[in-house]
Amino acid sequence: MFLEEIKKRRTFGIISHPDAGKTTLTEKLLLFGGAIQEAGAVKSNKIKKGATSDFMEIERQRGISVATSVLAFYYKNKKINILDTPGHKDFAEDTFRTLTAVDSVIVVIDVAKGVEEQTEKLVEVCRMRQIPMIVFINKLDREGKDAFDLMDEVEQKLGLRVTPLTFPIGMGYDFQGIYNIWTKNVQLFQEEDKQHKGTAVAYDDLTDPALGQAIGQNALDQLKEELELVEGVYPEFDQKDYLDGKLQPVFFGSALNNFGVQELLDCFIDIAPAPLVKKAEEREIDPTEKSFSGFVFKIHANMDPNHRDRLAFIKIVSGTFERNKPYLHVRHNKKLKFSSPNAFFAEKKEIVDISYPGDIVGLHDTGNFKIGDSLTAGEQINFKGIPSFSPEHFRYINNADPMKAKQLNKGIDQLMDEGVAQLFTLSLNNRKVIGTVGALQFDVIQYRLEHEYGAKCSYENLNVHKACWVEAEDENNSEFAEFKRVKQKFLAIDKAGQLVFLADSAFSLQMTQQKYPSVRFHFTSEF
């Protein structure tokens, strides 16, 4: 029973550059999984209902996903867990953390824009971790690049080795459907019927006169030529190579028009990996082990603004997680139990009694957890690879309403736990500095402090080039003491109490490194 449940699980993330159609794809997958009844893309031109996975107000206003959403649904007896990630580069840190919790990834690429810079960075992370990837080329009904050019671009820019499992019949205005190489049939596209489920024509019928009449003889001849080319140029799909991260299957479609999504989903549940072995500092952990282990990869404050609740998202690595059973919080070395662990089905949260490896569980948290924490049945295990990155934008944060100092402190405290940004307290005068990876985060923090905590803040610019975590070979030596004295006004303490050097320029960082060779400077907090 336990092993069967593990085999049913598919946990994956969707990554792309902003606007490639990632959130729309997430929604259409939910639609096929029956998790939502109708697509919320555009009901009528007057009313635009936001996609189900963007539930934070600021996301609705800017049309970007700023928090990773967790969604689950059942499809053909498989349980699918989707982690939809922010595409915007200012939120890259959230996406990198999410990639620690997935077993495979779908990369969405816009047919007109091809491979964009943010996609390159995210794919680089997946390649380093050897995460299996599937490429979905979206918006086929728009004018864009030719299918072969796109696949060349994916190979060159992303360093992938691809093989198409579906192939378009025409592109842009001439787009008529897709040929499914995986199941050997044709799916025709009807423009009028946006929410259609499509008509399929079997492969043996590529010689069928009816198909020639439906799409035109020229289009049919071109399709046959292109398929011959595909066979000659691209390697045959091999599941082992895909699982080892050495081969990436490519699918074509239009998520907005519901086209090509089902082909992607049907093939995905056949080939994608069930939960995989995860490395911890102490050893490798196999999902089939009976004893429970998991880690926090995301914290979301105020899931419901009416109740000040924080949810810590836990990816289950091994064993089963049961309601009301005590588990060890490794960093605090104390046992905790949870009476209402949540699972997410589209917009609904449900309380679950038992969860299996691969599942994502939301635990109500009063402030015990921070990102990267491990939870186990008792063993001391620390999962790695969830660092904080060195921020690139810095501002002083000031209280704009003296009556609300308490709310402001609580708000900043909780948002920092969530990993939205990092808080540094200057050693000299205790002023608070917020550091972020992208400038957009400052707006998000200000907005959320006001709307979720009733606190107002203002910012002041601060000239800092980079924040580095400081490590001394010997904390008692005179060189380290001199460094602390000379650089006093550039030193701060982060939320975990570690010493941080706020360098005001690349030159000053370089000079400091030369002057104090026994002091080391790190650009991530996990050194």
> Do residues 287 and 227 share a domain?
no
Domain shared by 164 and 197, yes or no = yes
Q: Which amino acid is at 17?
A: H
Q: Please report whether residue 384 resides in a domain.
A: no
Please indicate, yes or no, whether residues 108 and 252 belong to a single structural domain of this protein.
yes
Which residue type does 35 have? A
* pLDDT per residue as tens, the chain (527 positions): 888 888 999 988 888 887 777 778 887 887 776 655 544 433 333 233 445 555 456 555 555 554 457 778 888 888 888 887 765 665 666 777 778 888 899 999 888 888 888 788 788 878 877 889 999 998 887 877 888 888 988 888 888 899 999 888 877 777 788 888 888 878 777 655 444 444 555 545 666 677 777 777 888 888 888 888 888 888 898 989 998 888 999 999 888 887 888 888 888 988 899 888 888 888 888 999 999 999 988 887 655 555 556 788 899 999 999 999 999 998 889 999 888 888 876 556 778 888 899 888 888 887 788 888 889 988 888 887 666 667 888 999 999 988 999 999 988 888 887 777 889 999 888 999 999 877 888 888 898 888 888 899 999 998 898 888 898 888 788 888 899 899 988 999 988 888 999 998 889 889 998 999 888 888 876 65
Rounded CA-CA distance 193/190 in Å is 6
The answer as to whether 454 is a domain residue is yes
- Rounded to whole angstroms, how far apart are CA atoms 17 and 102? 18
The CATH number linked to 37 is 3.40.50.300
- Host H or E run for residue 7: helix 2-8
Cα angle 365, 368, 372 (rounded to 5 degrees) comes to 100
Domain presence at residue 382: no
In a domain, 385, yes or no: no
Domain annotation covers residue 420: yes
Print the domain residue range for 247.
2-271
For residue 183, being part of any structural domain is answered with: yes
Residues 34 and 163 placed together within one structural domain of the fold: yes
Q: How many domains does the chain have?
A: 3
Q: Do 289 and 260 belong together in one domain?
A: no
Residue 132 domain flag: yes
Contact at 8 Å (CB) between 139 and 256?
Answer: yes
Do 95 and 161 belong together in one domain? Answer: yes
Task: Fill in the DSSP letter of residue 414.
Answer: H
Among 376, 406, 440, where does a domain finish?
Answer: 376
In a shared domain, residues 200 and 250: yes
Domain edge (last residue) among 236, 271, 306: 271
Residue 383 placed within a domain: no
* Same domain as 397, residue 367: no
Whether 333 and 397 map to the same domain: the answer is no
Residue where a domain terminates, one of 240, 271, 302: 271
Query: How many helices and strands in the chain, by DSSP H and E?
Result: 14, 31
